[in-house]
Structure 1
């Protein structure tokens, strides 16, 4: 398939689409400065607007005018002067040398310095590394403004665009590139409803707190590379952001977990525990239990394990508490119930080793007695995504803010289903009519082909596989699998078995294939325990090479 050609002003059209959308749906959240900036810009000639947008799309706010040459902008100097007259940029601002040093290469600086320093000094400067040269430039100019060989253009107050991007995307890691990927046909998205009722950010206070968070977030990697004192100071700044929206709380919580984990690595366990205590999400309690045990606080560690078992915040936390509590208690000769360890049924197959791998080898081996497909997480996940398509993409408060979402913002929130009760479908009922449902899902598979969905891997599904799966797998089994996926969609959409086998005499079986030296992962074992509880046929196939 050929890639479509984009018009020369594609980026400007995309920018206008973003800005117009925000003004239409979020104007009440903008302040006077932001409204003035965008209104001033949009009133200018198109050439000046395109020059401004070109700079917005690049890093920083200082540029050399001679490096801003674009075919679709005929008069670079005129458009820059228009922008300056409108108050959107400054031309040749009075800046110290360290602010503009990075705009010029080392040879360019040496050429500029030839008239300012002696030949001997110039020879010494030529031998310096770039960082050393930058430091020396500060000494040479020492408060003087350098006479530069090209015009410098500075964006004035470009932060307004961060506000627009945050309102549009719901984050600041996406940008106008999303439009390009769509226009090139690399991604397709569902045509869900976007309006004021689906806004993610509800008021100016939430917006400002998120903007403050992202400005603080720019410092995180530097902080993580530093010492415990800096990490604690940074975390204190996070606390000052306030309670804010649920979106902000999630981001702060995720950062706090990363900070606490780094404190562990820096051998500051007490400080790490303090941060974990402020976190609600897993694995905060798990990490605390481990650190307490390591510090000899066995009673506190076991009590926390008991709390996790009584009120688990995730399946993983529940499994951890049972296992870690038992091992810790046994090591310290304390009472603790031994967790029941599930051992799934297994079988051994000896195969000739080939280039296609163990899963393909087992599938080929079983094809002699039926039909075997490599599906891993894609069969149940794909049918799940097709079956609940309308529910996943239903409009709801905080769900959709822009046309580039492969999922609603709140898909992984605990109240996702309760906010969409009208769209709920009961698989226990629907899957009892497999032929009609198969026709419906196959039609949806054809109509929605290629549209991004977090559960659907299009290339792994086919009408034949959908038909066979719905005919062979009982409704109760679909309901049991789907209920566990809904329990934790992000985590439980993975860990499902590699193969599905349809024996010639009917029925089906889910098979997890393990080659020599391989073993079940925790999420795979949890799925198999779930299968056992719901009488879903499953088995581990251990492979040995002949």
Structure 2
């Protein structure tokens, strides 16, 4: 394993993308060597051994879409050698095939209408097509009669000098390398190779064999199999045909979460395609939190009210996020009437605290800024923080937990946060570590920890911290005014559903440091202008604040003289 931390290339270097590609390939070769076959290791060694010109051209081709390329379209002036010379090396070393078989779709993707018309017009005219037939219609007309692949020279036999076409030979290997580096195939090569990574600072996370998501080559194969299933769904294949290709349940927790998401999407597709029984089967096999509600709603649409009611009542006894509880509550109310049961007792949500302001119309600023200017005083300053302040306090307190090197959390040194952040088991895998950090809130230690982390980690990427909106004075004021009990309640709710609860915080926060009651030294204020209304996730936060005794208001603003109010 390499001991040094790789340093990304500078954009000042015209071959910066090659240097970043070298970093990527070297990282996978070092950290995932045991997951590669001997042949794959040899090919990566051969890649590293190429001169910069051929290696850069090969990198450019790997980064592009598809595996087929016209030689006359490969123009990269930054190469240190002519393209033809680099191509000769790549052909000689078997990186490229100079005589690939092409399907009709390949031909139409690579060549223009003007280039194809002389080849196919005699046949088309014999079938009654006009000379002005468009390219798409030409391809459709030819599809049935020209379905077999053939070399380019057979397609363009009448052209004395057809432009050459080459095909990449090792794209499957490069895709495997990309997967092991990123941890997914959603990200393209350009997400790393063409990015100026040096402009961002990353938390150094130890990368050990134990922290890898892929422990076995079969893990990589399983992911690739699931990716193929997802591509087939995206290409419109019937869900019933894709379902048998889905891998069985696996013991790898990280792969399990990917499989749950695949099943969620497969169920969606089955439902859309009228395969309702299959959708129920697939969603029933998935532990994804969204699958449960979708299963119940489908049962309701199928008028299987008794079955839906039994499942809903079982689900109600489990731990739910606010959004799940809200969706389930609405469903149970509808189902109760269908099965002759009593409607569930409505949640007694507290009244929201509100006040109204009539302000001069702002010509340039927002309604939030107008309210801030009006409400802020020297004794009670107001800040526009929305979703940033509470998230940042959490991120700073829990920094070592967020960047804990667990399997499947980090794949390379350039992550802005753990890739499992929004997974259902993110908290469960770190529960004890979070509890240890929250225990600091029971003493005065948390203040020093947060401020020291702010100073030491300044500018380092963290998914909860937006550095440009923070300064030490704001953090200190927040720590002076927000009780530790409130912070703990806010942080625990945040962890209940990070995807949902990272947003929805009120726009403004007002600090009142000299207030006699320590729990009233701040208040959060959601501002709504004319025509605006509270969204569901904002309402859920406001109800939570009220239940916890956290001071919060909804401020309805109208412009003076307009009579409008939200």
Shorter-normalised TM range:
0.7 to 0.9
The alignment status of 1:429 with 2:440, answered yes or no, reads: yes
Measure how far apart 1:414 and its partner are: 2.5
The alignment status of 1:61 with 2:78, answered yes or no, reads: no
Deviation string 1:33-76 (CA, Å, 9 cap, x unpaired) is 32232233333333222222221111111111121122214232
Number of the residue aligned with 2:230: 217
C-alpha change, 1:283 and 1:422, in structure 2 (3 Å) is closer
Distance in 1 (CA, whole Å) between partners of 2:183 and 2:353 is: 47
Distance in 1 (CA, whole Å) between partners of 2:343 and 2:129 is: 73
Decide which of 290, 299, 318 is 1:283's aligned counterpart. Answer: 290
C-alpha change, 1:503 and 1:421, in structure 2 (3 Å) is closer
Distance in 1 (CA, whole Å) between partners of 2:324 and 2:167 is: 51
Unaligned runs of 5+ in 1: none
Contact 1:428 1:478 in 2 (8 A): no
Number of the residue aligned with 1:541: 555
Distance in 2 (CA, whole Å) between partners of 1:169 and 1:358 is: 41
C-alpha change, 1:160 and 1:480, in structure 2 (3 Å) is same
Compare 84-93 and 268-277 and name the one that shifted more.
268-277
Decide which of 90, 94, 98 is 1:91's aligned counterpart. Answer: 98
Superposition TM-score, scaled by structure 2 size: 0.84
Distance in 2 (CA, whole Å) between partners of 1:180 and 1:158 is: 16
Number of the residue aligned with 2:178: 165
C-alpha change, 1:140 and 1:198, in structure 2 (3 Å) is closer
The alignment status of 1:231 with 2:239, answered yes or no, reads: yes
Compare 154-163 and 182-191 and name the one that shifted more.
182-191
Decide which of 495, 500, 503 is 2:504's aligned counterpart. Answer: 495
Contact 1:11 1:176 in 2 (8 A): no
Pairs aligned (count): 534
The alignment status of 1:318 with 2:325, answered yes or no, reads: yes
Measure how far apart 1:396 and its partner are: 2.6
Distance in 1 (CA, whole Å) between partners of 2:529 and 2:334 is: 29
Decide which of 240, 244, 250 is 1:243's aligned counterpart. Answer: 250
Distance in 1 (CA, whole Å) between partners of 2:440 and 2:249 is: 46
Measure how far apart 1:201 and its partner are: 0.7
Decide which of 398, 402, 406 is 1:396's aligned counterpart. Answer: 406
SS in 2 for 1:277: helix
Q: For the aligned residues, what is the CA RMSD?
A: 3.2
Measure how far apart 1:256 and its partner are: 2.4
The alignment status of 1:149 with 2:162, answered yes or no, reads: yes
C-alpha change, 1:126 and 1:187, in structure 2 (3 Å) is farther
Unaligned runs of 5+ in 2: 1-8, 516-520, 561-566
Number of the residue aligned with 2:525: 511
C-alpha change, 1:346 and 1:516, in structure 2 (3 Å) is farther
Compare 479-488 and 523-532 and name the one that shifted more.
523-532
Compare 153-162 and 3-12 and name the one that shifted more.
3-12
C-alpha change, 1:173 and 1:288, in structure 2 (3 Å) is closer
C-alpha change, 1:73 and 1:55, in structure 2 (3 Å) is farther
Distance in 2 (CA, whole Å) between partners of 1:332 and 1:216 is: 38
Superposition TM-score, scaled by structure 1 size: 0.87
Decide which of 416, 420, 425 is 1:414's aligned counterpart. Answer: 425
The alignment status of 1:40 with 2:46, answered yes or no, reads: yes
C-alpha change, 1:384 and 1:9, in structure 2 (3 Å) is same
Compare 163-172 and 341-350 and name the one that shifted more.
341-350
Distance in 1 (CA, whole Å) between partners of 2:179 and 2:256 is: 16
Deviation string 1:288-347 (CA, Å, 9 cap, x unpaired) is 322333333333222222112212353432333334323432576531331223133322
Measure how far apart 1:18 and its partner are: 1.0
Deviation string 1:98-119 (CA, Å, 9 cap, x unpaired) is 5333211112234x649x9599
Contact 2:233 2:269 in 1 (8 A): no
